[in-house]
Amino acid sequence: MDSTLEKLQQWRKNTMVEHLGIELTEHGEGFLCGKMPVDHRTHQPMGLLHGGASVALAETLASIGAALSVDLTKKACVGLEINANHIRGVREGWVYGRASAVHIGRSTQVWEVKITNETGELVCLSRMTVAVIDKK
């Protein structure tokens, strides 16, 4: 694992991201990938992947992806708006997310997140707008 991914994994400690079992798996220019288990932590009462868990994965990937594109000594990235279309149910295994930058601006960023199941079928499609703010 590269040093940036190792550092990013530390950001998970004692957060919802760690509790849900979200792991970051790959990053590059304008993208970040991760995976999340579909189990008792991420199920809704009918035994399917909870839509809120999908949104948590999407927001995690988009937010961290956005943070990688700014100087974190001066700026912070915070969620401004997120939407999600839940396409397909998942009962077990893993889901995989890939967040891709659509727009990287000075004060806002827009990220698209595609979440797929283990066979590559689309589970959720999300878009998030991130505000880039000055640190106080």
Q: What percent of the chain has pLDDT over 70?
A: 98
Band (pLDDT 50/70/90 cuts) for residue 3 is: low
Domains contained in the chain, number: 1
SS3 of 17, please?
helix
Q: What's the domain range around 65?
A: 3-134
Query: What's the CATH code of the domain at 37?
Result: 3.10.129.10
The string of pLDDT tens digits covering residues 97-133 is 999 999 999 999 999 999 999 999 999 999 999 999 9
Does position 1 have pLDDT exceeding 60, yes or no? Answer: no
Q: Does residue 56 contact residue 115 with C-beta atoms inside 8 Å?
A: no
User: Does residue 47 register a pLDDT over 60?
Assistant: yes
**Catalytic residue among 23, 26, 29, 59, which?**
59
Q: Find the Cα–Cα–Cα–Cα dihedral 67, 70, 71, 76, rounded to 10°.
A: -50
23 is an active site residue: no
